[in-house]
Amino acid sequence: MTVVHSPSRHVCSAASAPTTWYHASARRPFARSIPLIGETTADVVIIGAGFTGVSAALDLAKAGLSVVILEANEVGAGASGRNGGLTCTGWRHDQKWLEARMGQEDARKLWLLAEDAKADLLARMHDFHIEADWTPGQIFAAHTPRLMRDLDDDADYMARAYGYERPRRLDREQVAHALGTTCYYGGWRDPSAGHVHPLKLLYGLMQAALVAKANLHENSRVIEIGADGSKRFARTANGRVLAEHILLCGDGYLDGIEPDVEARVLPIGSFVIATEPLPANSPILPLHDSAMDTRFVVNYWRKTADQRLIFGGGEKYTPSWPSDVESFVRRNLAKLYPNLSDIQITHAWGGALGITPTRLPYLRQLRAGVLSASGYSGQGVVLAPYFGRILAACVLGQHRDYDVLGRMPVPHFPGGRVLRWPLLTAAMSWYALRDKLP
């Protein structure tokens, strides 16, 4: 395996990976686990302790199956412990796009599933008493007049064709007031989307899975999966788990153990800063909404319960990451909020998220006993826990909604193993350039 400089490997392996504000502000409610040593058996072995894996483990353990989670690093080391925390509505594409590719019926089912995923997340936080600073309200802000017209058309279509009338239109003045910046031409506020403290959410789900008797081994990177007689195995440097089922839940960090997933799900780097607390009377996000904009390289931001601004802006499609994440992101922050150009940044970090060529998640049974879900393309806070539940349902023989989700088109990235990085870099850089055009 030669991909030593990919973003995923960088983040996974670097002991010096920047500390996130999330890790500084969330109490881990369960003890450190020990690495896997020797051979053990289970009904299900899960690779990766992010939202997908932990959520699957919770359902499976509650159903009475024996579950082992193998995590290369620690719970929350991946994207689930490093993201912007925005809980979004729908998919990365609008419904018209989905209808054109998948037909009316499937597109409609997908819309209902995405709505269910949003509701399911809130229900689980409630059921398992997970305090994750959930805050409703999300503004989608248009950075050009043309994109504002597109947002209007889309909102109109969603109201007419899907009866989705919850979002409220904000004109230029209203969006400036809601965001505390005059950079946008208008926007829409969706009260059913919002934001959470993602690491508190993940820790809560993990704690519930442990209570249900799931087994966790951290610092246990899986280096090979395969079949042994009628069973499957996952092998680390020091041990092996024999199981009926393997769930691959490594998303942008899954490196080198499953070529089919790697061909379709590529890690890109996204970067975030946390500021010192803003004054209580700050005009920025006075209602504590979360916000994102229409740029291809999207800016996303929100305020924490203690008034810090969490701001993500800037992506990297090359294997090398910015040496100075703080300056890399601060530049984008200062464009929206020039008054904050000197604000103290207390934490700056990056993470790898899996994207697919169509920006639709990749859920598949790869072969008998091996299932995979990843590639949420920036919408995993709502989707990844839900897809974890779908994986669990498949193992339990329920096949809940697997069919339509498994039909989502997710081709290989062009270029094969060698050329896909340069091709991705060229394509993404072209789209990023278009952000600068009116």
Ligand X SMILES: Cc1cc2nc3c(=O)[nH]c(=O)nc-3n(C[C@H](O)[C@H](O)[C@H](O)COP(=O)(O)OP(=O)(O)OC[C@H]3O[C@@H](n4cnc5c(N)ncnc54)[C@H](O)[C@@H]3O)c2cc1C
Main-chain dihedrals φ then ψ at residue 336, nearest 5 degrees: -85, -35
222 to 251: interface string for ligand X, x by CB under 6 A: x--------------------------xxx
Nearest Cα neighbor of 80 from 268, 253, 309, 284 is 253
Using CB atoms within 10 A of its CB, is residue 407 exposed (0-12), middle (13-18) or buried (19+)? middle
Residue 78 is a binding residue for ligand X (CB under 6 A):
yes
Contact pick of 130, 141, 241, 272 for ligand X (by CB under 6 A): 272
Nearest Cα neighbor of 17 from 29, 26, 28, 8 is 8
Q: How far is CA 308 from CA 280, 311, 331, 347, 379, in A?
A: 10, 9, 18, 11, 22
The residue among 80 and 356 lying less far from ligand X, judged by its C-beta, is 80
Residue 215 is a binding residue for ligand X (CB under 6 A):
no
Residue 401: how many other CB atoms lie within 10 Å: 20
Residue 273 is a binding residue for ligand X (CB under 6 A):
no
Nearest Cα neighbor of 297 from 317, 277, 283 is 317
Provide the minimum distance between the beta carbon of 438 and ligand X in the complex, in angstroms, as a whole number.
27
Instruction: Choose the stretch contacting ligand X; rule: CB under 6 A; options: 82-90, 111-119, 139-147, 148-156.
Output: 82-90
Residue 186 is a binding residue for ligand X (CB under 6 A):
no
Residue 353 is a binding residue for ligand X (CB under 6 A):
yes
Provide the minimum distance between the beta carbon of 380 and ligand X in the complex, in angstroms, as a whole number.
2
Residue 253 is a binding residue for ligand X (CB under 6 A):
yes
Residue 257 is a binding residue for ligand X (CB under 6 A):
yes
Provide the minimum distance between the beta carbon of 300 and ligand X in the complex, in angstroms, as a whole number.
5
Q: Is the Cβ–Cβ distance between 372 and 261 less than 8 Å?
A: yes
Residue 38 CA to residue 391 CA, distance in Å, equals 27
Contact pick of 65, 79, 329, 355 for ligand X (by CB under 6 A): 79
Amino acid at 413: F
Instruction: Choose the stretch contacting ligand X; rule: CB under 6 A; options: 56-64, 69-77, 177-185, 280-288.
Output: 69-77
Residue 254 is a binding residue for ligand X (CB under 6 A):
yes
Residue 370 is a binding residue for ligand X (CB under 6 A):
no
Provide the minimum distance between the beta carbon of 103 and ligand X in the complex, in angstroms, as a whole number.
26
Contact pick of 9, 59, 68, 71 for ligand X (by CB under 6 A): 71
Q: Is the Cβ–Cβ distance between 385 and 124 less than 8 Å?
A: yes
Residue 121 CA to residue 127 CA, distance in Å, equals 10
Provide the minimum distance between the beta carbon of 83 and ligand X in the complex, in angstroms, as a whole number.
3
Residue 398: how many other CB atoms lie within 10 Å: 14
* Site residues for ligand X per CB under 6 A: 12, 47-53, 70-73, 77-80, 82-86, 88, 221-222, 249-254, 257, 270, 272, 300, 312, 351-353, 374, 376, 378-382, 384
